[in-house]
Protein backbone atom coordinates (compact mmCIF):
# COMPACT_ATOMS: atom_id res chain seq x y z
CA UNK A 1 0.00 0.00 0.00
CA UNK A 2 1.47 3.34 -1.03
CA UNK A 3 1.46 6.06 1.64
CA UNK A 4 -1.50 8.41 1.43
CA UNK A 5 -0.01 11.11 3.68
CA UNK A 6 3.46 12.53 3.06
CA UNK A 7 4.93 14.27 6.12
CA UNK A 8 8.19 16.24 6.18
CA UNK A 9 9.76 17.18 9.51
CA UNK A 10 12.73 19.53 9.64
CA UNK A 11 15.42 18.78 12.20
CA UNK A 12 14.08 15.26 12.65
CA UNK A 13 17.40 13.51 13.19
CA UNK A 14 17.20 14.04 16.96
CA UNK A 15 15.02 15.14 19.87
CA UNK A 16 11.39 16.08 19.30
CA UNK A 17 11.59 15.59 15.53
CA UNK A 18 13.05 12.10 15.92
CA UNK A 19 10.51 11.07 18.55
CA UNK A 20 7.65 12.50 16.50
CA UNK A 21 8.78 10.60 13.42
CA UNK A 22 8.65 7.37 15.39
CA UNK A 23 5.19 8.11 16.80
CA UNK A 24 3.73 9.07 13.41
CA UNK A 25 5.31 6.23 11.42
CA UNK A 26 4.31 3.72 14.12
CA UNK A 27 0.67 4.80 14.11
CA UNK A 28 -0.41 3.78 10.61
CA UNK A 29 0.83 2.47 7.28
CA UNK A 30 -0.69 5.50 5.56
CA UNK A 31 2.21 7.73 6.61
CA UNK A 32 5.53 8.32 4.92
CA UNK A 33 7.72 10.57 7.05
CA UNK A 34 10.66 12.39 5.50
CA UNK A 35 13.39 12.80 8.11
CA UNK A 36 15.54 15.84 7.39
CA UNK A 37 18.85 16.85 8.92
CA UNK A 38 21.43 19.52 8.22
CA UNK A 39 23.62 16.78 6.75
CA UNK A 40 22.48 13.70 4.85
CA UNK A 41 24.65 11.57 7.12
CA UNK A 42 22.72 12.68 10.22
CA UNK A 43 19.36 12.10 8.55
CA UNK A 44 20.37 8.66 7.25
CA UNK A 45 21.72 7.64 10.66
CA UNK A 46 18.42 8.63 12.27
CA UNK A 47 16.45 6.61 9.72
CA UNK A 48 18.67 3.57 10.33
CA UNK A 49 18.17 3.87 14.09
CA UNK A 50 14.40 4.25 13.77
CA UNK A 51 14.16 1.17 11.57
CA UNK A 52 16.38 -0.80 13.96
CA UNK A 53 14.15 0.13 16.90
CA UNK A 54 11.22 -1.46 15.06
CA UNK A 55 7.49 -0.99 15.36
CA UNK A 56 7.07 1.13 12.24
CA UNK A 57 3.90 0.62 10.23
CA UNK A 58 4.53 3.43 7.81
CA UNK A 59 7.68 4.24 5.86
CA UNK A 60 10.47 6.76 6.42
CA UNK A 61 13.26 8.25 4.34
CA UNK A 62 16.20 10.61 4.79
CA UNK A 63 16.73 14.00 3.17
CA UNK A 64 19.34 16.71 3.60
CA UNK A 65 17.85 20.10 4.45
CA UNK A 66 19.59 23.05 6.07
CA UNK A 67 16.91 25.68 6.68
CA UNK A 68 19.48 28.48 6.71
CA UNK A 69 20.71 27.58 3.21
CA UNK A 70 18.50 28.61 0.27
CA UNK A 71 20.08 26.14 -2.16
CA UNK A 72 19.71 23.27 0.31
CA UNK A 73 16.01 23.97 0.86
CA UNK A 74 15.38 24.29 -2.87
CA UNK A 75 17.15 20.97 -3.54
CA UNK A 76 15.08 19.30 -0.84
CA UNK A 77 11.82 20.60 -2.31
CA UNK A 78 12.85 19.45 -5.78
CA UNK A 79 13.63 15.98 -4.42
CA UNK A 80 10.24 15.71 -2.71
CA UNK A 81 8.49 16.93 -5.86
CA UNK A 82 10.32 14.37 -7.99
CA UNK A 83 9.59 11.42 -5.69
CA UNK A 84 6.10 12.23 -4.40
CA UNK A 85 4.74 15.11 -6.46
CA UNK A 86 3.21 16.75 -3.40
CA UNK A 87 3.54 17.30 0.35
CA UNK A 88 0.63 16.82 2.75
CA UNK A 89 2.11 17.91 6.08
CA UNK A 90 5.03 20.28 6.65
CA UNK A 91 6.38 20.38 10.21
CA UNK A 92 8.78 23.27 10.80
CA UNK A 93 10.55 21.73 13.79
CA UNK A 94 14.22 22.58 13.24
CA UNK A 95 15.40 25.21 15.72
CA UNK A 96 18.32 26.66 17.61
CA UNK A 97 18.30 27.03 21.38
CA UNK A 98 20.90 28.01 23.90
CA UNK A 99 24.62 27.62 23.08
CA UNK A 100 27.64 27.43 25.36
CA UNK A 101 29.38 30.67 24.40
CA UNK A 102 26.36 32.88 23.75
CA UNK A 103 27.02 35.31 26.59
CA UNK A 104 30.36 36.33 25.08
CA UNK A 105 28.83 37.03 21.65
CA UNK A 106 25.24 38.01 22.31
CA UNK A 107 24.67 40.05 19.15
CA UNK A 108 25.92 37.32 16.83
CA UNK A 109 23.99 34.70 18.78
CA UNK A 110 20.82 36.79 18.46
CA UNK A 111 21.37 37.13 14.71
CA UNK A 112 22.04 33.39 14.34
CA UNK A 113 18.99 32.28 16.31
CA UNK A 114 16.73 34.66 14.37
CA UNK A 115 18.09 33.23 11.11
CA UNK A 116 17.47 29.65 12.23
CA UNK A 117 14.19 29.99 14.14
CA UNK A 118 12.39 32.61 12.05
CA UNK A 119 13.97 33.19 8.63
CA UNK A 120 14.60 29.44 8.27
CA UNK A 121 10.97 28.35 8.73
CA UNK A 122 9.89 31.21 6.46
CA UNK A 123 12.23 29.93 3.74
CA UNK A 124 11.08 26.33 4.18
CA UNK A 125 7.38 27.25 4.13
CA UNK A 126 7.74 29.50 1.11
CA UNK A 127 9.73 26.92 -0.85
CA UNK A 128 7.46 23.96 -0.07
CA UNK A 129 4.19 25.87 -0.48
CA UNK A 130 3.71 24.81 -4.13
CA UNK A 131 3.94 21.17 -3.01
CA UNK A 132 1.44 21.70 -0.20
CA UNK A 133 -0.86 23.27 -2.76
CA UNK A 134 -0.94 19.92 -4.58
CA UNK A 135 -2.27 18.14 -1.48
CA UNK A 136 -5.99 17.59 -0.97
CA UNK A 137 -5.66 18.50 2.72
CA UNK A 138 -2.42 20.41 3.38
CA UNK A 139 -1.25 21.15 6.90
CA UNK A 140 1.53 23.53 7.91
CA UNK A 141 2.70 23.08 11.50
CA UNK A 142 5.15 25.38 13.26
CA UNK A 143 6.82 24.03 16.39
CA UNK A 144 6.72 27.02 18.68
CA UNK A 145 6.71 27.36 22.47
CA UNK A 146 4.69 28.77 25.31
CA UNK A 147 7.69 31.08 25.64
CA UNK A 148 6.42 32.87 22.54
CA UNK A 149 3.12 33.75 24.22
CA UNK A 150 2.86 37.22 25.76
CA UNK A 151 0.27 36.02 28.27
CA UNK A 152 2.38 33.03 29.30
CA UNK A 153 5.59 35.06 29.70
CA UNK A 154 3.88 37.87 31.60
CA UNK A 155 2.39 35.36 34.03
CA UNK A 156 5.81 34.35 35.40
CA UNK A 157 8.00 37.48 35.75
CA UNK A 158 10.28 36.00 38.42
CA UNK A 159 11.14 33.00 36.25
CA UNK A 160 11.78 35.24 33.25
CA UNK A 161 14.10 37.45 35.31
CA UNK A 162 16.05 34.38 36.38
CA UNK A 163 16.83 33.61 32.73
CA UNK A 164 18.78 36.86 32.49
CA UNK A 165 20.07 38.46 29.31
CA UNK A 166 20.78 35.14 27.63
CA UNK A 167 17.14 34.15 28.04
CA UNK A 168 15.85 36.93 25.80
CA UNK A 169 16.58 35.77 22.21
CA UNK A 170 14.79 32.39 22.23
CA UNK A 171 11.35 33.66 23.35
CA UNK A 172 11.65 36.55 20.88
CA UNK A 173 12.16 34.09 18.01
CA UNK A 174 9.15 32.03 19.06
CA UNK A 175 6.94 35.13 19.28
CA UNK A 176 8.11 36.03 15.77
CA UNK A 177 7.39 32.48 14.60
CA UNK A 178 3.85 32.81 15.92
CA UNK A 179 3.34 35.91 13.80
CA UNK A 180 4.86 34.13 10.80
CA UNK A 181 2.28 31.37 11.12
CA UNK A 182 -0.54 33.88 11.51
CA UNK A 183 0.56 35.76 8.40
CA UNK A 184 0.88 32.55 6.38
CA UNK A 185 -2.72 31.72 7.20
CA UNK A 186 -3.93 35.22 6.26
CA UNK A 187 -1.81 35.85 3.17
CA UNK A 188 -1.89 32.37 1.61
CA UNK A 189 -4.95 30.77 3.21
CA UNK A 190 -7.30 31.37 0.28
CA UNK A 191 -4.69 30.42 -2.30
CA UNK A 192 -3.31 27.20 -0.79
CA UNK A 193 -6.18 26.19 1.53
CA UNK A 194 -3.64 25.13 4.12
CA UNK A 195 -4.55 24.59 7.76
CA UNK A 196 -1.86 26.37 9.77
CA UNK A 197 -1.01 25.38 13.34
CA UNK A 198 1.27 26.50 16.14
CA UNK A 199 2.43 23.68 18.40
CA UNK A 200 4.26 23.70 21.74
CA UNK A 201 5.95 20.36 22.52
CA UNK A 202 6.34 21.24 26.20
CA UNK A 203 9.34 20.76 28.45
CA UNK A 204 10.86 17.55 27.14
CA UNK A 205 14.35 16.09 26.82
CA UNK A 206 16.09 18.07 24.07
CA UNK A 207 19.46 19.41 22.91
CA UNK A 208 17.99 22.92 22.58
CA UNK A 209 19.14 23.78 26.09
CA UNK A 210 22.64 22.28 25.70
CA UNK A 211 24.37 18.97 25.13
CA UNK A 212 25.06 17.96 28.73
CA UNK A 213 22.64 15.46 30.24
CA UNK A 214 21.87 17.96 33.00
CA UNK A 215 20.72 20.57 30.47
CA UNK A 216 19.03 18.08 28.12
CA UNK A 217 16.85 16.75 30.92
CA UNK A 218 16.62 19.97 32.97
CA UNK A 219 17.88 18.07 35.96
CA UNK A 220 15.32 15.34 35.41
CA UNK A 221 12.35 17.70 35.07
CA UNK A 222 11.99 17.30 31.30
CA UNK A 223 9.50 14.76 29.98
CA UNK A 224 9.53 12.21 27.18
CA UNK A 225 9.55 13.79 23.67
CA UNK A 226 7.32 10.92 22.52
CA UNK A 227 4.49 12.68 24.36
CA UNK A 228 5.11 15.68 22.11
CA UNK A 229 4.96 13.35 19.14
CA UNK A 230 1.57 12.08 20.24
CA UNK A 231 0.22 15.64 20.41
CA UNK A 232 1.67 16.39 16.99
CA UNK A 233 -0.05 13.29 15.63
CA UNK A 234 -3.42 14.53 16.89
CA UNK A 235 -2.86 17.75 14.93
CA UNK A 236 -1.99 15.80 11.79
CA UNK A 237 -5.07 13.60 12.24
CA UNK A 238 -7.34 16.64 12.44
CA UNK A 239 -8.27 16.21 16.09
CA UNK A 240 -7.12 19.74 17.00
CA UNK A 241 -8.67 21.62 14.08
CA UNK A 242 -11.00 23.45 16.45
CA UNK A 243 -7.94 25.13 17.98
CA UNK A 244 -6.76 26.77 14.74
CA UNK A 245 -6.19 30.48 15.29
CA UNK A 246 -6.57 30.32 19.06
CA UNK A 247 -2.86 30.29 19.87
CA UNK A 248 -0.17 27.67 20.42
CA UNK A 249 -1.51 24.14 20.86
CA UNK A 250 -0.08 21.95 23.62
CA UNK A 251 -1.13 18.58 24.97
CA UNK A 252 -3.47 20.05 27.58
CA UNK A 253 -4.93 22.99 25.67
CA UNK A 254 -3.79 26.21 24.01
CA UNK A 255 -1.44 29.03 25.01
CA UNK A 256 -3.17 32.25 23.91
CA UNK A 257 -1.20 35.08 22.38
pLDDT tens for each residue of 29-67: 999 999 999 999 999 999 999 999 999 999 999 999 999
Nearest-10 Cα torsion for 45, 197, 117, 212: -50
Please provide the DSSP assignment of 55-85 as one string. Answer: --SSEEEEEE--TT-HHHHHHHHHHHHHHHS
pLDDT over 70 for what percent of the chain?
A: 92
Ramachandran region, residue 11 (left: φ > 0; alpha: ψ -120 to 50; beta: rest): left
Helix 169-192 to helix 106-114 angle (10° resolution) is 20
SS3 assignment for 157-190 = HHHHHHHCHHHCHHHHHHHHHHHHHHHHHHHHHH
- From CA 241, how far away is CA 8, in angstroms rounded? 19
From residue 46, alpha-carbon distances to 24, 61, 63 in Å are: 15, 9, 11
Domain ranges of the chain: 5-255
> Does the domain made of 5-255 have the CATH classification 3.40.50.720?
yes
What is the per-residue pLDDT for 211? 54
- From CA 22, how far away is CA 173, in angstroms rounded? 27
218 pLDDT band (50/70/90 cuts)? very low
110 pLDDT band (50/70/90 cuts)? very high
217 pLDDT band (50/70/90 cuts)? very low
Which of 26, 86, 93, 87 minimizes the C-alpha distance to 60?
26
* Average of per-residue pLDDT values in the chain: 91
- From CA 35, how far away is CA 23, in angstroms rounded? 13
Which ranges of 11-149 would DSSP assign to H, the alpha helix?
Answer: 15-27, 40-53, 70-84, 106-114, 120-133
* pLDDT at 219 > cutoff 70: no
The DSSP symbol for 257 reads -
Amino acid sequence: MSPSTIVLITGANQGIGYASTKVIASSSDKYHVIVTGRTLEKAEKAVEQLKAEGGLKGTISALQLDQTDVASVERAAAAVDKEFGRLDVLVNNGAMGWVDDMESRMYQYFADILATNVAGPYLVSRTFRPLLKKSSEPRSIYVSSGMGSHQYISSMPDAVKSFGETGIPYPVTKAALNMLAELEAIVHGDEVKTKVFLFCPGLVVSNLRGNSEEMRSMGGAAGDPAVSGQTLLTIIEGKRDADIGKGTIHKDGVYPW
